[in-house]
Amino acid sequence: MQLDTSFLQDLIGSITERGRDLVGLTWGQEGRGEEQKARPDLVALSEALLTRRGEASGVALAAAIIGGYFDASEDDRVAWLETLAERFGPDGQRLAAAARAYLATGTAEAAAELSEASEPRRQELIRRLNLAPGGTAALVGMRAGLIRHLKSHPRLAPLDVDFRHLFSSWFNRGFLVLRRIDWTTPANILAKIIQYEAVHTIQSWDDLRARLEPPDRRCYAFFHPQLVDDPLIFVEVALTRDIPASIAPLLRIEREVTRPADATTAVFYSISNCQAGLRGVSFGNFLIKQVVEELKRDLPGLKTFVTLSPVPGLTRWLSAELKAEASGAHSPEQLAVAAPLVAGQWQGAGADATKAAVLRTLAARYLMMARTAGGRPVDEVARFHLGNGARLERINVDGDLSAKGLAQAGGVMVNYLYDLATIEANHEAHVDRGEVAASPEVRALLAPPATTTRTRLALPAAARKPR
Amino acid sequence: MQLDTSFLQDLIGSITERGRDLVGLTWGQEGRGEEQKARPDLVALSEALLTRRGEASGVALAAAIIGGYFDASEDDRVAWLETLAERFGPDGQRLAAAARAYLATGTAEAAAELSEASEPRRQELIRRLNLAPGGTAALVGMRAGLIRHLKSHPRLAPLDVDFRHLFSSWFNRGFLVLRRIDWTTPANILAKIIQYEAVHTIQSWDDLRARLEPPDRRCYAFFHPQLVDDPLIFVEVALTRDIPASIAPLLRIEREVTRPADATTAVFYSISNCQAGLRGVSFGNFLIKQVVEELKRDLPGLKTFVTLSPVPGLTRWLSAELKAEASGAHSPEQLAVAAPLVAGQWQGAGADATKAAVLRTLAARYLMMARTAGGRPVDEVARFHLGNGARLERINVDGDLSAKGLAQAGGVMVNYLYDLATIEANHEAHVDRGEVAASPEVRALLAPPATTTRTRLALPAAARKPR
Amino acid sequence: MQLDTSFLQDLIGSITERGRDLVGLTWGQEGRGEEQKARPDLVALSEALLTRRGEASGVALAAAIIGGYFDASEDDRVAWLETLAERFGPDGQRLAAAARAYLATGTAEAAAELSEASEPRRQELIRRLNLAPGGTAALVGMRAGLIRHLKSHPRLAPLDVDFRHLFSSWFNRGFLVLRRIDWTTPANILAKIIQYEAVHTIQSWDDLRARLEPPDRRCYAFFHPQLVDDPLIFVEVALTRDIPASIAPLLRIEREVTRPADATTAVFYSISNCQAGLRGVSFGNFLIKQVVEELKRDLPGLKTFVTLSPVPGLTRWLSAELKAEASGAHSPEQLAVAAPLVAGQWQGAGADATKAAVLRTLAARYLMMARTAGGRPVDEVARFHLGNGARLERINVDGDLSAKGLAQAGGVMVNYLYDLATIEANHEAHVDRGEVAASPEVRALLAPPATTTRTRLALPAAARKPR
Amino acid sequence: MQLDTSFLQDLIGSITERGRDLVGLTWGQEGRGEEQKARPDLVALSEALLTRRGEASGVALAAAIIGGYFDASEDDRVAWLETLAERFGPDGQRLAAAARAYLATGTAEAAAELSEASEPRRQELIRRLNLAPGGTAALVGMRAGLIRHLKSHPRLAPLDVDFRHLFSSWFNRGFLVLRRIDWTTPANILAKIIQYEAVHTIQSWDDLRARLEPPDRRCYAFFHPQLVDDPLIFVEVALTRDIPASIAPLLRIEREVTRPADATTAVFYSISNCQAGLRGVSFGNFLIKQVVEELKRDLPGLKTFVTLSPVPGLTRWLSAELKAEASGAHSPEQLAVAAPLVAGQWQGAGADATKAAVLRTLAARYLMMARTAGGRPVDEVARFHLGNGARLERINVDGDLSAKGLAQAGGVMVNYLYDLATIEANHEAHVDRGEVAASPEVRALLAPPATTTRTRLALPAAARKPR
């Protein structure tokens, strides 16, 4: 999940050249001969872009700044970003006056002035940088860089907030375009699908072809009109006759193909975000729901919409549970299954039904009971789908016996069910009351108190308040 | 310059239908039979869209609100808009706390919280309404309606500020697409060109064809990807061998065509904004500059880029000057020419060179000296082009002898010159010091003080300070 | 139904220029100054194109010939065409030898050689002319010219045979593309629809829009990939709730629109061939059948596919019948109705049911009994639809009270029914046995012998053999 | 160079299904249960398609025949093809009568009738088969099958002649579309490029990308509108700063890229025909010439257009020369170089300039003197380029040290120069007089008689007459 730097470099190259032609600027440093390239003073250019010169020559200035940024060393880039974070905030005097006025009067006008006065100048700067040809892609790339430095340079945080604020508006779902990806899609876009796939690595072009070309496979992506060759997020779908319990048969290149008209089930088996620079701007929820609608329209025979998902945090959680065994939360038999799994000595439950049952129970506890400080599921994939209103439908032991699958979850995979009729209620119950929607089968896995009449599990009180 | 309501109605119709299918809402009022259509409670839906339900069912809720709005009576629409303006502002308590915290600490974090706390909830509502299919077009249509009521319902003003704020971001030039309009353009778009043309009415499809099809004519428009069939602004261009002094020969359907390779001059003879709902979001500046670049690339023989523009406020100004004749600003001879013009008894100067000279001088005074309270040119067309950094190149008596041209300016038209090399300096001098860039010929029209060495006219001190 | 000569002229202009650049030919006649343009020797160029030079420089030579042709005077064009007809036939010696060999041996090889030897060189010449950019359009234009001269220059006939032979192969339905024409179609194509409409003249762009934009209207055309902006044939369709009896309500610009989902009937109310140069290459049959399939797929509610057609030869036939009244074929009452109609004094039957019944009977006789020497219906529209296997469904008195409708048929219009289940049988019965498929109602109009059990009428023996 | 059978199978599958729905035919053989699929009587269907039923139901019949053909066993296919070849020729009686009439009268009318009478019914059948959706692709596939059987079933020959005759007309260059192939081309088309590349095998998608994406690489293909996803022929081009002597550096994936603006030379280093079914219909000549024009327009800096070509027959020829050494055509030293090469013991000349010179001379003799019975160059690549009017520019020893390159030509590669100014003269001299255009350097390689004044070599008289 990395930016396609060659694409970006090309783009930046052309922006820079263009920018240099357009603006006759005094560069920050005089070159001596060819090797020593003149470097523009990015801060001065940024100030210029925010002033009158920006109104007359905005496109050229924006191009020059973006070009200069990508030409600069990593240190110089961070320095400029930090300057933006610190010196391109709101006007302090105006803001203080507005704050006082609002406290004194409380009028709508005072609130409006306060809103305007508090907007950091960085936001207008980012909007004007977007004037450059290819500006949007460059800004997304810029934020991807910023995010890499965020931990080590915490002063960048306010700038990141501004980026996210603007990107949330610009990449509003209303501006996105859903496009089907298939074997007739341009190769440069497919190369990005290979690069961005984050769940089940695409091994080769043959592997890719096997995921796109057969009539029982689908792939959809969101695109933004300004990033026309670069998907934002995509989902891979298999059309099947029942809910699959393991991933390997779906990924096999040689396999029997189901006629789409015979399929009853659409399986979302991989969802990947593509743009590091759009972190915190969420599309996945919309993508799944719209793909469900598309598929329903195309293939009325489809009745079940379900994922086949990894459980990325299971091993990690079991490891912690083992250490805290004294808690008594799990029985010795259960811990005996967890031990080899955590130790990396687990090759799957195979024919051992008892071990499988134990692992299934442990996974159910993890997915339904383990919560973050904020009361949300610890497992990030569970958090996403349950947060969308999906229901935890089935836990599959030996669902993914690849090295990665064994390492992260002892081979366990999970189906989340997207039932449009209950999504909204599930979502509200989850967000409001911390409930987890689960099938009766999954709920039955949870210890003695067989609360069979409800399909959502109330969170233990302890987990519901932020620690 | 009116919204294409049939298009919008179609769109809204389909949104509404879809929205109704998707949301099982309690409508605000129960229908009795077919005629009495149930009406949704727009305010309740708006609250729902801003809460958790909006996260789960945002698209459906947004579609329901938009559909409900356009189904509603004009009164109900305004009522809802006013409610948004008044009750969907920021959270007062949070805002007050943030204001106090900022005044106490002055930190960047406090400023950031203040910025966030002061954002009216309306803005997030508008962003979420954009989730609906066709949402962007609907929101632009909504604001067009709002603007119509703004004078009579001043409480709508804060909502209008939010719309403009978001639209400035969404319709950032970086998101717009320049497209050439020609005789192979789809008819539905051409029908909008006919409808939106605001300067020289397009009389018929033959008239339109004559402006698009001959090789010495060009037309370009900006489009937004979400309003794919609806231009935002367009400009009509004639390629000629010299700077034209009157509009009629350009518009004539039967005329001699210039080979593009022989043309030296591109004449921007009509620029029209298309979307009432985008008032205050300016594209014209970018459009002209990009079209200049396009044309330069295509036709290297083009050396001169110039407008042929109306002077919409000349008659009005002359009328006021006549009333204030005692001011002595104009000589009796000059007033003698102005009188019939203001009285609507002017048919053009014809062969009378003296009258023509007088009128040219009066027009120069109007364009260069008459200023608004803010020190900007009174004439709106002059304000636009001079603000862009263009230069007032020539004043053409008898440039437009149509009824409209005689009524608004006694037939006077003007050429503004776009010289990329001087645009930026002109723009700065104009904005900073109120100077008007003008050719030596035009400057010479201004009374005794023959300041021949500069091509920009310093504004008389009086005009420079806001009155 | 005339070639769009401006399009062709543009095309030819560019071909010519290009051709002149590419071939350094000795023109047939030396120019003296600018006015006297050098004219290429088209015959010499044609010979060159058929030889080795054509293999090396075919594109340039083809362009030069086409350019030269369209630059030439009408007389020179005809002269060249006649030369092709007379001197670019097969090689006589080779052909005679092949004929003798075939008569001697009768082998397949001899037949093959005979086939090859008998192909006129003109055909290869036409194929090579097609190498020029825009060659196909130019050749179609060339044949349109040829056809205009065919009557006065009968020696052109063999060349016309070659054109038709090749065009039948090139414009094979397998190479055509069906495209829907609607209000989003490029204006240059719509302008051609206006120009080519041959049945119910399109009065204005508003009229056109009313035929394309409402949801209960459709228009489809066949295009050839090489004539991408120029339709070959198109059909206009109205979606209705019953079979219409008159044209005026369909063409009315202001009218109530039927929701497509409510429509039961698709009415083909106008079919126009566009290319005079493609005379004898028939597309109409394929067009109607494919449009029926398209509409069925889109709108499953459609059950009835029917035309509303003119009866162009009725008045002419009635006039002849009046002159031959002694034949006794029609009763005096019937002739009394025919007389004012033929005399141009007929304004429709109006409320006079008797007159209407008489006219209906006369029309039925005309459509079903009047035959050409070859035994086919005299009426060209009937010939087309009955030949396609459609059934004569209803005769509508006062169906078209326009001047044209009254003049050609006393206002009578006809519905032909396309029922895919019976088309093939109808077609065979028509071609093999001269039968006319007709509804019971129409058949009942034919005099005493009420043969009610069959829906096809056997042709009177006399009409069945070529006279 | 094999048909993409999966594509064809899909196509055929859908045609068959459609055809079966459309025609209610009595199949040739009744199925018993699922396994025994009913087989249509292809001959009966073919007869039906040529009669009246074909006029009414042509599309369905054509689809049924094509579907039935591809469903049939190989034996049944051949049987049907032979039936067409034998029983669908011209009507013997009519043909004999026409032959007699022509011999008696010799008129143009008689010739025309003879031409019509001699056309085999197969041609009309093929034209009507083209009515089926996907018919053109299916027919091309059909002929590819026919060609495979041609040697073993010589009775198919007349049918092959008909196919070639029609395909020459249908795939006339005027109907083809030149499209650039690059890294944004749909993957399904690129997969075909990999499959069809016949000169320098494309090893992987990375290899492909390296041939398409860098700015100094180009690839162009001809497409037919009816075979929209399937190229007919393509050429790969490298932009360089001089004429390359060996292929490896061009194909290297990691290499320095030349800026297109700096390139002076376009190197055609691979040309592949794609459709076995179009054998004998030549496009290569047109493709190269049009690509030269495209490149010239895009990159005016390009001055030299040249191939880097294999010499596929050199080893074979040297082997024959060694056996005939007594002829004295080559010196003992020369034969000493040839021996290890023919024996497969040659690894290139390396630094041995003497061996290189000898090999260069032998290659020159082969390319310029070795002729077919018809007097054309024995080497098929030479035959193509010299036949196009190119000039033999340079012989490169050690140009291709791959196993294939060493085996077929001892590593020798050749540059043919395309100089538009001399192509036509070269072509004529070659075809008329058997001359081979060669650079002075190449000509100097030919033995003592240093004919330095001419750049074309007259063929030794012996070679000029067919042996």
CA D68 to chain CA centroid, nearest Å: 29
D195 touches chain A (CB under 8 A): no
The per-residue pLDDT of chain C, averaged, comes to 87
Task: Check whether B129 has a pLDDT greater than 90.
Answer: yes
- The average pLDDT across C231-255 equals 96
Residue D451 has pLDDT above 50, yes or no: no
The DSSP bridge partners found for residue C305 are C266
Predicted pLDDT of residue D457: 47
Nearest Cα of chain B lies from the Cα of A440 at a distance, in angstroms, of: 23
Report how far residue C330's alpha carbon sits from residue C319's, in angstroms, rounded to the nearest whole number.
Answer: 13
Q: Identify from C188, C192, C208, C212 which residue to disrupt to test chain B contact, counting B C-beta atoms within 10 A and taking the largest count.
A: C188
Q: Looking at the complex, does the CB of residue D186 fall below 8 Å from at least one CB of chain A?
A: yes
CB contact under 8 A, D187 and A185: yes
When the pLDDT of each residue in chain A is averaged and rounded to a whole number, the result is 87
Q: How big is the CA angle at B425 (ends B424 and B427), to the nearest 5 degrees?
A: 65
Asked whether at least 3 C-beta pairs link D and A within 8 Å, the reply is: yes
Which residues of chain D does A185 touch, with a Cβ-Cβ cutoff of 8 Å?
186-187
Beta-carbon pairs below 8 A across chains A and B = 154
Which tens digit of pLDDT belongs to each residue from B35-67?
Answer: 345 567 999 999 989 987 767 678 889 999 999
Residue C56 near chain D (CB below 8 Å): yes
pLDDT digits (tens, 9 = 90+) for A194-233: 999 999 999 999 999 999 999 999 999 999 999 989 999 9
pLDDT in tens, A439-457: 999 999 986 543 334 444 4
Please indicate whether, in this complex, the C-beta atoms of C115 and D118 are within 8 angstroms of each other.
Answer: yes
The DSSP result for C435-454, as a single string, is -EEB-HHHHHTS-S---TT-
Whether B339 has its CB under 8 Å from any CB of chain C: the answer is: no
Strand-pairing partners, residue C261, are: none
Distance from CA of C177 to the nearest CA of B (A): 19
Percent of chain C with pLDDT over 90: 72
Does residue B254 sit at the C interface (CB-CB below 8 Å)?
no
Which chains would you list as touching D if contact means 3+ CB atom pairs under 8 Å?
A, C
Q: Which residue has the higher pLDDT, C12 or D252?
A: D252
Contacting partners of chain A (3+ CB pairs under 8 A): B, D
Task: Give residue A346's Cα distance to chain centre.
Answer: 30
pLDDT in tens, D396-412: 999 999 999 999 999 99
* Interface test with chain D among A6, A11, A184, A230, by most D beta carbons within 10 Å: A184
Dihedral angle of Cα D396, D398, D400, D402, to the nearest 10 degrees: 170
Distance from CA of B33 to the nearest CA of C (A): 21
User: Per the CB < 8 Å rule, is C188 touching B184?
Assistant: yes
- Predicted confidence at residue B228, as pLDDT, reads 87
- Judged by a CB distance cut-off of 8 A, whether residue C190 touches chain B is yes
Chain D residues in contact with A186 (beta carbon < 8 A): 183-187
What pLDDT shows up at residue B38?
57
Task: For chain C, say whether B187 makes contact (Cβ under 8 Å).
Answer: yes
N- to C-terminal Cα separation, chain B = 32
| Torsion from C-alpha of A311, A317, A319, A320, nearest 10 degrees | 170
* A111, A158, A285 ranked by CB distance to B90: nearest: A111
Q: Which chain B residues contact residue A173 at CB under 8 A?
A: 58-59, 130-131
Distance from CA of A186 to the nearest CA of D (A): 4
Tokens representing residue C128 in the block: 């090579």
Asked if D261 is an interface residue toward chain A (Cβ–Cβ < 8 A), one would say no
Helix/strand/coil (H, E, C) string of chain B? CCCCHHHHHHHHHHHHHHHHHHCCCCCCECCCCCCCCCECCHHHHHHHHCCHHHHHHHHHHHHHHHHHHHHCCHHHHHHHHHHHHHHCCCCHHHHHHHHHHHHHHCCHHHHHHHHHHHCCHHHHHHHHHCCCCCHHHHHHHHHHHHHHHHCCCHHHHHHHHHHHHHHHHHCCHHHCEEEECCCCCEHHHHHHHHHHCCCCCCCCHHHHHHHHCCCCEEEEEEECCCCCCCCCEEEEEEEECCCCCCCHHHHCCCCCCCCHHHCCEEEEEEEEECCHHHCCCCCHHHHHHHHHHHHHHHCCCCCEEEECEECCCHHHHHHHHHHCHHHCCCCHHHHHHHHHHHCCCCCCCCCCHHHHHHHHHHHHHHHHHCECCCCCECCHHHHHHHHHCCEEEEEECCCCCCHHHHHHHCCCEEEEECCHHHHHHHHHHHHHHCCEEECHHHHHCCCCCCCCCCCEECCCHHHHCCC
Interface residue A172 vs chain B (CB under 8 A): yes
pLDDT over 70 (residue D127): yes
- Interface test with chain A among B102, B103, B156, B179, by most A beta carbons within 10 Å: B102
Q: What is the pLDDT of residue B36?
A: 42
For chain C, say whether D402 makes contact (Cβ under 8 Å). no
Instruction: Please choose, from the candidates D148, D139, D138, D158, the residue with its C-alpha nearest in 3D space to the C-alpha of residue D82.
Output: D158
CB contact under 8 A, B188 and C183: yes
Lowest model confidence (mean pLDDT) among A65-79, C25-39, C243-257: C25-39
Residue D325 confidence class, pLDDT cut points 50, 70, 90: confident
Alpha helix stretches (DSSP H) within C256-352: 284-298, 314-323, 332-342
Q: What was the ipTM of the complex prediction?
A: 0.85
Mean pLDDT taken over chain D: 87
A179 contact residues in D (CB cutoff 8 A): none
> What pLDDT does residue B447 have?
64
Nearest CB to C186: which of B186, B191, B209? B186
Chain B residues whose beta carbon lies within 8 Å of the beta carbon of residue A112 = 120, 158, 161
Tokens encoding A190: 């497919």
> Which residue on chain A is closest to D204 by alpha carbon?
A205
Say yes or no for a CB contact (<8 Å) between A90 and B115.
yes
Instruction: Spell out which residues of chain A touch residue D183, defining contact as CB-CB under 8 Å.
Output: 186-188, 191
Min Cα distance A200 → chain B (Å) is 28
A and B interact (at least 3 Cβ pairs within 8 A): yes
- What is the DSSP code (8-state) at residue C226? T
Q: What is the pLDDT of residues B391-435, one digit of tens each?
A: 999 999 999 999 999 999 999 999 999 998 898 889 888 988 889
Of B56, B111, B131, the CB nearest to A428: B56
Of A55, A161, A424, the CB nearest to B56: A424
Distance from CA of C191 to the nearest CA of D (A): 25
Least confident of B25-39, C205-219, D152-166: B25-39
Q: Looking at residue C217, what is its pLDDT?
A: 97
B86 in contact with A, Cβ within 8 Å? yes
How do residues B329-338 score in pLDDT, each as one tens digit? 888 889 999 9
Instruction: Give the H/E segment covering residue A111.
Output: helix A108-118
Tell me whether residues A186 and D191 touch, CB distance under 8 A.
no
Q: Is A398 left (phi over 0), alpha (psi -120 to 50) or beta?
A: left
D191 part of contact set with chain A, CB < 8 Å: yes
Q: Residue D55 above 80 pLDDT?
A: no
D424–C contact, CB cutoff 8 A: yes
Q: Is the pLDDT at B109 greater than 60, yes or no? A: yes
Residue A374 scores a pLDDT above 90: no
Residue among D467, D463, D444, D466 nearest D370 (CA): D463
Q: Tell me D459's DSSP state.
A: P
Please name the amino acid found at residue A292: V
pLDDT of residue D448: 56
Position A109 pLDDT exceeds 70: yes
In chain B, what percentage of residues exceed pLDDT 70? 86
Interface contact B159, partner A, CB < 8 A: no
Looking at the partner chain, which of C184, C185, C205 has a beta carbon nearest the beta carbon of B205? C205
Helix segments in D151-280, DSSP class H:
157-170, 187-196, 205-212, 248-251
A389 interaction partners in chain B (CB closer than 8 Å): 56
Tell me the average pLDDT across A297-305. Answer: 95
Residues in chain C closer than 8 A to B191 (CB atoms)? 183, 209
Pick among B181, B188, B189, B193 to test the C interface (most C CBs inside 10 A):
B188
Question: CB–CB of C118 and D118 under 8 A?
Answer: yes
Q: How far is D295 from chain A (nearest CA, A)?
A: 22
